[in-house]
Amino acid sequence: MKSLPYFCRGEVVKGFGRGSKELGIRTANFPDRVVEHLPADIPTGIYYGWACVGHGEVHKMVMSIGWNPFYKNEKKSMETHIIHTFKEDFYGEVLSIVIVGYIRPEKSFNSIDELIAAIHSDIEEATSRLESDDHRKLKDDSFFTPLDRTIMNGH
């Protein structure tokens, strides 16, 4: 995929409310306009990369791009699971992400337990892959540096 790494940001909006309630795995959702601007060569599936909420720290993330076949969504979505525990929701905050690599295509599952197991496996895979030097350097990319900090540091 020539569009990777792919950098984007957008406001966190309410999703379907399934991530934390049904799956125990919180996700941050992008608005439709961010999803609609994805490059055509980024197919649906599960991806990994880095994410930052507001001007906070940069954390590892895993992301689902697509229609979530298990739930038979009618709208394509981008759902980011940041591999970090946040104390509270961050709806309305700006989420900045860099998609670094692809894990697998999206697929349906026979049960919610199978889906949860697959998500945990994706999280482990993302965590492991992001340890490579090539991927780790993207964590420190200037994309994640707020403009006001850049100016204050003389860059």
Number of other residues whose CB lies within 10 A of the CB of residue 124? 12
What pLDDT does residue 64 have?
A: 93
What pLDDT does residue 145 have?
A: 85
Structure tokens given for 24 = 């125990």
Does this model's pTM top 0.85? My answer is yes
- In angstroms, the CA 97 to CA 60 distance is 10
**Beta strand 28-29 pairing with 6-11:** unpaired
Catalytic member of 11, 57, 74, 79: 79
Mean pLDDT of 45-58: 95
Domains and CATH numbers, the chain: 6-152 (2.40.30.30)
Mean pLDDT of 43-66: 95
Band of the pLDDT at 155, cuts 50, 70, 90?
A: very low
> What's the pLDDT tens digit per position in 107-154?
888 888 998 899 999 999 999 999 999 999 999 999 998 765 444 444
Active site annotation includes 124: no
3-state helix, strand, coil in the chain (%, to 5): 25, 30, 45
- In angstroms, the CA 48 to CA 4 distance is 11
Question: DSSP label at 131?
Answer: T
> What's the pLDDT tens digit per position in 2-28?
899 999 999 999 876 666 667 778 889
Structure tokens given for 32 = 């439709």
- Neighbour order of strands in the sheet with 45-53: 6-11, 94-104, 45-53, 58-66, 77-82, 28-29
- Label each residue of 51-94 as H, E or C: EEECCCCEEEEEEEEECCCCCCCCCCEEEEEECCCCCCCCCCCE
> What's the pLDDT tens digit per position in 55-99?
899 999 999 999 876 666 678 889 999 999 888 888 899 999 999
Mean pLDDT of 96-108: 94
Q: Is the pLDDT of residue 51 over 60?
A: yes
- In angstroms, the CA 46 to CA 63 distance is 6
What pLDDT does residue 136 have?
A: 93
